[in-house]
Amino acid sequence: MSKTDLTYWQQQAKSLTIEGRAFINGDYVDAQNKETFACISPIDGKPLAEIALCAEAEANQAVTCARATFEHGDWSKAAPVKRKAIMLKFADLIEQHGDELALLETLDMGKPISDALNVDIPGAVRSIRWSAEAIDKIYDEVAPTSENELGLITREAVGVVAAIVPWNFPLVMACWKLGPALSAGNSVILKPSEKSPLTAIKLAALAKSAGIPDGVFNVLPGFGHQVGKVLALHKDIDTLVFTGSTGIAKQLMIYAGESNMKRVWTEAGGKSPNIVFADAPNLAEAANAAAGAICFNQGEVCTAGSRLLVEASIKDEFIALVKTAMQHWRPGNPLDPNTNVGAIVDQIQHERVLSYIEKGKEQKASLCCGGNKAQPVAGGFYIEPTMFSEVDNNMAIAADEIFGSVLSVISFENIAEAINIANDTPYGLAAGIWTSDLSKAHQMAKAVRAGSVWVNQWDGGDMTAPFGGFKQSGNGRDKSLHAFDKYTELKATWIKL
Ligand code: NAD
Ligand code: MN
């Protein structure tokens, strides 16, 4: 048996011990009232583990510990070079446990094991490593003052950070927050999605082994409306960082206003336009990318290229190319290393995506491919990647974030119309532009209101560049040195000389 076989991963899954407890002050603990909730695998609908159902008591306990360790200073006041060394060890341990973490991710949320191994684990490791390496290289500033005074501009850790993350890239989204938050010296409480708590829980043990002091990193599994809400309303949390839907992001800002005005930084939803002009350098390549942009990770991607804007003169030709490209993306057993489309995270999301496919049909969009449930594994939640053409930007399938492989093709006549349609959305996360005309590419890149713009490619990015949204796709940025802004307060100190 080798790692390229389905049976290898099925065996690994059978022999896996799954930790379902919360992690508070350096130890795995049950919820105080011993309550749990079931973790169901979307691969086959079978239960995987019982997970500690955290709520108010656990949140209060975790915040108290996080505050105490922050004040004590073991971590917060440690030299950056010391935190760096421990964070680098943490990254190494994530890498060393990559197979186990990847398997947990696949079992828990249904993504293909190949993606978990090749995308999620390296992404998580790089995030922690990059932030760690940066922390002893960031200098503070001195203000250009008059001779008789000294103005120091310094950055301090904010204190206690709550990180509430979604289920589509559970480990990566957590590590985008943990890297800069912990490296900067904060104490962190991580609340994974109730749909995907397993890798976050495992991460806690690795953090402890790496040498992160007890109380600095806590994990509270549970539901958003329970433990999530308690954290968001908590008066002793300084900063709340969030990745998830726009609706919940708005709610968190209200909770902050109702409680202690904690800083709220959100990475929220998207409905990103992928804009293909007739003069694209290579239409087949653009079509492959357009298919990948909606099929990768079952379409459960905040930057999914869910609105495909195609210049009218090449519409039929291009749709045919995308249709061919989408044949390559087929639902299969996520544990099979050859699978490129896995299971939808759970039954609720499965029904939601199918309901949008029905809406597309009702509103008279034209179904080009897909549109049905699939059943590669009995009991699991699967859907064929789906494409609709003849879509109007006001239809539900073009307006709402579906978070599934449902592609809406909208045609346009000229640059002005392309810009109008692209920006006619409350979201502003990402956009793709395909053209050979340099001037048109720049004109479009400036005109599109989005945090990431990709020219003649889809989904470019790295830890070296910030990631986040305009408009209702959120505020603040993950990744790059800009991410540290969220985890530090800026202080001006004036000294009379
Ligand atoms: P969600 O908003 O339903 O949940 C996200 C997290 O918030 C979960 O941990 C959930 O338990 C918690 N939560 C829910 N209600 C809460 C409440 N009342 N108080 C506190 N916490 C609460 O999102 P999801 O379905 O898990 O993830 C999908 C969404 O995430 C999509 O909208 C997607 O676009 C977005 N996303 C954005 C990015 C980005 O970087 N912009 C990346 C990945 C996913
Ligand atoms: Mn799950």
Mean pLDDT, consecutive 10-residue stretches, the chain (497 aa), reads 95 97 98 98 98 98 98 98 99 98 98 98 98 98 98 98 98 98 99 98 98 98 98 99 98 98 98 98 98 98 98 98 98 98 98 98 98 98 98 98 98 98 98 98 98 97 97 98 98 98
Q: Which ligand is nearest to the CA of 222?
A: 1
Can you tell me whether residue 190 is helix, strand or coil? strand
Q: Which atom of ligand 1 is nearest to the CA of 349?
A: 25
Can you give the pLDDT at residue 1?
82
Distance (Å, rounded) from C-alpha 250 to C-alpha 265? 11
Structure tokens of 155?
């950055």
Distance (Å, rounded) from C-alpha 449 to C-alpha 470? 6
Token pair 């004109």: residue: 443
| Dihedral angle computed from the Cα positions of residues 472, 429, 318 and 332, in that order, rounded to the nearest 10 degrees | -100
The preferred substitution site among 56, 168, 169, 267 for testing ligand 1, maximizing ligand atoms within 8 Å of CB, is 168
Residue 194 C-alpha to ligand 1 middle, in angstroms? 10
Can you give the pLDDT at residue 32?
97
Atom 35 of ligand 1, residue of closest alpha carbon? 244
Can you tell me whether residue 56 is helix, strand or coil? helix
Q: Which of 19, 58, 105, 267 is catalytic?
A: 267
Can you tell me whether residue 452 is helix, strand or coil? strand
Q: Which atom of ligand 1 is nearest to the CA of 249?
A: 2
Q: Which ligand is nearest to the CA of 109?
A: 2
Residue 102 C-alpha to ligand 2 middle, in angstroms? 13
* Structural domains of the chain, ranges and CATH numbers in brackets: 12-268+474-493 (3.40.605.10), 273-463 (3.40.309.10)
Token pair 């001037």: residue: 439
Q: Which ligand is nearest to the CA of 107?
A: 2
| Cβ < 6 A, ligand 1 pocket | 164-168, 173, 191, 193-194, 223-225, 228-229, 232, 243-245, 248, 251, 267-270, 302, 401, 403, 429, 469, 473-474
Name, in order, each residue with C-beta under 8 angstroms of 112's C-beta and a sequence gap of 6 or more.
106, 332, 334, 336, 337, 339, 340, 341, 342
Q: Which of 175, 295, 302, 368 is catalytic?
A: 302
Can you give the pLDDT at residue 145?
97
Atom 26 of ligand 1, residue of closest alpha carbon? 166
Atom 16 of ligand 1, residue of closest alpha carbon? 224
Residue 247 C-alpha to ligand 1 middle, in angstroms? 9
Beta bridge partners of 383: 373
Give how far Cα 236 sits from Cα of 29, 58, 184, 488, 492, Å.
22, 14, 19, 16, 24
Residue 458 contacts residue 476 (beta carbons within 8 Å):
no
Distance (Å, rounded) from C-alpha 320 to C-alpha 329? 15
Residue 43 contacts residue 51 (beta carbons within 8 Å):
no
Phi then psi for residue 449, to 5 deg, are: -90, 90
Residue 245 C-alpha to ligand 1 middle, in angstroms? 4
Residue 279 contacts residue 259 (beta carbons within 8 Å):
no
Residue 70 contacts residue 186 (beta carbons within 8 Å):
yes
Distance (Å, rounded) from C-alpha 439 to C-alpha 309? 19
Atom 22 of ligand 1, residue of closest alpha carbon? 224
The model's pTM is 0.98
Q: How far is CA 269 from the centre of its chain?
A: 10
* Annotated catalytic residue 302: yes
Distance (Å, rounded) from C-alpha 306 to C-alpha 274? 8
Which stretches within 211-282 are classed as H helix?
229-233, 246-258
